[in-house]
Amino acid sequence: MGSIANAFSSSIGKKLIMGLTGLFLISFLLVHCFLNCFVFFDKTGVLFNEGAHFMATNWIIRAMEVVLMLGLLLHIVQGIRLTLENQAARPVKYAYNDGNANSKWYSRSMGLLGTLLLMFLVVHLSDFWIVSRFTGIEHFNGGTPVDASGHEDLYAVMLAKFSHPWRVILYVLAMISLAYHLLHGFASTFQTMGWNHKKYTPIIKTMGVLFSILIPLIFALMPIAIYFGLGL
């Protein structure tokens, strides 16, 4: 067992934690994105609220919410730790370093992109999660917390929140940060896990690019669609 504990304190083990938590957060993004797509298909919001109701009442989902928070926390703590260690590994900086000659700017800026995403998460969680769990949604919905079919009316909160153009812009910018974070993170996770293979790596890289563009794009379209009243 000593060997296993000591594996996670080594440089490779720390990378593995970063990669596995990252992959877990990627799986969450997929679920979150698909469920939220209900906003495009029902302007009354009943469909979306039903989805949100399922997520809020299903015990597997609720249990996973705790795991998700822990995974996110681990990803953040480990990211800060790695960044500090990596900065300490070069105490004297170069006078001139041409990073763009050999690597992509976003692969060198994961800490910065991650910090932007964390700042967005604070706004995003206080916009919806805190409202739904703690402060209540009545005043977003004319005094009643439920919609026509009796489910908690989170859709009304969405309509109210995304009526402010600054918030729509903020969400779109955050999704651009997410896209670049994923553009490095997705394929990088597999390399860290040791999955570098002549047959599979090109597939993983293509999937990574598609995922990094499509998921943030769909997310970004949600506030835009609501602000402009688009959708079915």
Distance CA 184, CA 22 (A): 11
110 versus 168: smaller Cβ distance to another protein: 110
For another protein, the binding residues (CB under 8 A) are 2-4, 6-7, 10-16, 82, 85-86, 88-99, 101-104, 107-108, 110, 184, 187-188, 191-196
Q: How far is the CB of 202 from another protein (least distance, A)?
A: 13
Q: How far is the CB of 219 from another protein (least distance, A)?
A: 25
Q: How far is the CB of 34 from another protein (least distance, A)?
A: 28
60 versus 92: smaller Cβ distance to another protein: 92
Q: How far is the CB of 85 from another protein (least distance, A)?
A: 6
Q: How far is the CB of 170 from another protein (least distance, A)?
A: 27
108 versus 164: smaller Cβ distance to another protein: 108
**Which CA distances in Å does 133 have to 41, 64, 129, 137?**
25, 16, 6, 9
